[in-house]
Amino acid sequence: MRIIKAVLLFVIVCVLAGVGFLYLAPQKATSLALDIERKRSGLERKEIKLSDDLNYVYLEGGKGEPLILLHGFGANKDNFTRVARYLTPHYRVIIPDHIGFGESSHPQDADYGALTQAVRIRTLAQALDIDKAHIGGSSMGGHIAMMYAFVYPNETQSLWLLNPGGIWSAPPSELRDVMAKTNKNPLMAKNEDEFAEIFAFVMADPPFIPRPILNVMAQERINNYELEQRIFKTLTSDSAEKYITGLQTPVLIVFGDQDRAINPATADILHNLMPNSEVIIMKGLGHLPMIEQPRLASADYLKFREALDKEN
């Protein structure tokens, strides 16, 4: 009985210490949590300066064929950290912060269109000695991935599009309805409460993240608010449809059926535009399947890649 009580007391002390650390040192707790998650996924933070305006910070891990993963609007490289755990055993995974986001350069007067961002990603790939790659992208990252395949079709081995943007002929989403009625963008945050609302808006099955860590994560968005406003306007002014019609690249299109940011009907439009594509609709998930259900999302992708290998 004494041993049981001692063990319980030890557990209680550890829990209280952890909670205290979380609330008294949230930045250190957040950094530690990210480091642990990256290590579990076999990822290492790296940095490369390509020019005065192009300083990329990225995560890299694994061996095999290169797989470049592109995060969405307002996000950063760690949006793919959880799913990378299941991918680094098979591929060389590279996950950059886009220029204008995360820890990469934030030139205020740069062009942030999807086509220009795709050209930048190719510059990064060349600097990393990557001649051909499989490209994955979430939301805005999917839009950029499609532009990459359009401009560099012989260097793009396949596309993995997770709830991609860039198809503005699709039926309106809840995001577009809210913006039309209120003139407010639910994906933008000026304070910590608004960031917490974004977190709830984009995911139907979000992982648990303590509020102190969410508040630390919010600072990146808050500080980048003005630039993100301009980037969002630029992205939504140009459609990918005219570029990708008839694209022959093998494509896996994935949507969460509860996506509030981009209407899941976009999947059928993409499927009709790209003849060598297949669609997976993930039940009960929102805009970020690779965060909401990383194991399931990665399993679908691995099956897609296995089928490609058999064809080749």
| Confidence band, pLDDT 50/70/90 cuts, at residue 22 | low
The pLDDT value recorded for residue 84 is 98
Q: Any idea which of 9-18, 208-217, 218-227, 295-304 has the lowest mean pLDDT?
A: 9-18
Distance CA 274, CA 144 (A): 16
| Confidence band, pLDDT 50/70/90 cuts, at residue 312 | confident
Averaged pLDDT for residues 195-214: 95
In a domain, 279, yes or no: yes
pTM for the model stands at: 0.92
* pLDDT tops 80 at residue 215: yes
Averaged pLDDT for residues 133-138: 98
The pLDDT value recorded for residue 311 is 85
CB 251 within 8 A of CB 278: yes
Eight-class DSSP state of 153? G
* pLDDT tops 80 at residue 277: yes
Closest CA to 258 of 211, 201, 307, 304: 201
* CATH number of the domain within which 289 lies: 3.40.50.1820
Q: Phi first, then psi: what are they for 282, rounded to 5°?
A: -95, 120
The pLDDT value recorded for residue 21 is 44
pLDDT tens track for 240-272: 999 999 999 999 999 999 999 999 999 999 999
In a domain, 3, yes or no: no
CB 162 within 8 A of CB 134: no
Average pLDDT, the chain: 92
The pLDDT value recorded for residue 302 is 98
Averaged pLDDT for residues 271-298: 98
In a domain, 9, yes or no: no
CB 112 within 8 A of CB 235: yes
Q: What three-state secondary structure class fits 90?
A: coil
* pLDDT tops 90 at residue 27: no
Distance CA 243, CA 273 (A): 10
Q: Which residues form the domain of 146?
A: 45-311
The pLDDT value recorded for residue 5 is 38
pLDDT tens track for 96-123: 999 999 999 999 999 999 999 999 999 9
In a domain, 22, yes or no: no
The pLDDT value recorded for residue 1 is 54
Residue with tokens 């912060």: 97
CB 114 within 8 A of CB 137: no
* pLDDT tops 80 at residue 30: yes
| Confidence band, pLDDT 50/70/90 cuts, at residue 7 | very low
Domain count, the chain: 1
Q: Active-site positions?
A: 71, 139
Distance CA 139, CA 165 (A): 5
SS (H, E, C) 100-162: CCCCCCCCCCCCCCHHHHHHHHHHHHHHCCCCCEEEEEECHHHHHHHHHHHHCHHHEEEEEEE
In a domain, 2, yes or no: no
Strand ranges for 140-285 from DSSP E = 156-162, 251-256, 277-282
Stronger pLDDT, 21 or 26, i.e. the higher one: 26
Residue with tokens 């942030």: 112
In a domain, 298, yes or no: yes
Q: What three-state secondary structure class fits 246?
A: coil
In a domain, 37, yes or no: no
In a domain, 21, yes or no: no
- 280 forms bridges with which residues in the sheet? 254
Q: Alpha helix (H) ranges present in 203-250? A: 211-223, 225-235, 241-244
pLDDT tens track for 73-86: 999 999 999 999 99
Averaged pLDDT for residues 165-169: 94
